[in-house]
């Protein structure tokens, strides 16, 4: 006999599972950060190694068809620098980087919110007027 479950119960279970996955992801991220900090402090890798590893990762992703093009050297260097900020644990620079990112995101959001005035071709407006009935008011959207 099939079990019945309400939509609210299903949504609660799904949200709970997503939250668990998020916590697990954060836990794994913390563990990796700790391990990489230990290895870095022991001198087992440096910035050049991080850049080469990122380049190699992107090469593999390109060969697998998971990315369309190889990022340019500036993008790879930026990714390596960002990674090394976390590995070195440079909180001041991380905060500065996050603030700059927030400013760029806000600037982009403002561009998206800019009012746009668009006009429709006369044929479309005539068709809307025809569909609107016998009143002679023009429809403006």
pLDDT 10s digits, 48-100: 999 999 999 999 999 999 999 999 999 999 999 999 999 998 899 999 988 99
- List the alpha helices (DSSP H) in the chain: 7-41, 47-63, 73-88, 91-113, 122-132
**pLDDT tens digits for 6-21?**
888 889 999 999 999 9
pTM across the whole model: 0.59
What percentage of the chain has pLDDT greater than the value 70? 91
Which residue from 111, 138, 113 is spatially nearest to 126, judged by alpha carbons?
A: 138
Helix (H, G, I), strand (E, B) or coil at 113: helix
Structure token pair of residue 16: 């709970």
The answer to whether the CB of 54 falls within 8 A of the CB of 83 is yes
Report pLDDT for 106: 92
The answer to whether the CB of 62 falls within 8 A of the CB of 69 is yes
State how far the Cα of 78 lies from the Cα of 87, in Å rounded to an integer. 14
Structure token pair of residue 101: 């990112």
Which residue from 90, 141, 99, 80 is spatially nearest to 116, judged by alpha carbons?
A: 141
How far is CA 57 from each of CA 23, 32, 67, 78, 129, rounded to the nearest angstrom? 26, 17, 11, 15, 58
| Residue corresponding to tokens 């794994």 | 28
Structure token pair of residue 14: 């799904």
């Amino acid at each position: 006999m099939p079990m019945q479950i309400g939509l609210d119960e299903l949504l609660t279970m799904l949200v709970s599972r997503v939250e668990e996955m998020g916590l697990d992801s954060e836990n794994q991220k913390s563990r990796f950060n700790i391990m990489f900090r230990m290895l870095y402090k022991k001198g087992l890798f440096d910035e050049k190694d991080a850049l080469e590893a990122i380049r190699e990762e992107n090469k593999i992703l390109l060969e697998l068809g998971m990315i369309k093009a190889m990022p340019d050297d500036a993008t790879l260097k930026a990714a390596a620098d960002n990674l090394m900020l976390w590995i070195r644990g440079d909180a001041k620079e991380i905060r500065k980087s996050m603030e700059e990112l927030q400013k760029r995101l806000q600037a982009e959001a403002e561009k998206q919110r800019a009012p746009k005035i668009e006009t429709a071709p006369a044929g479309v407006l005539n068709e809307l007027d025809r569909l609107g009935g016998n009143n002679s008011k023009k429809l403006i959207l």
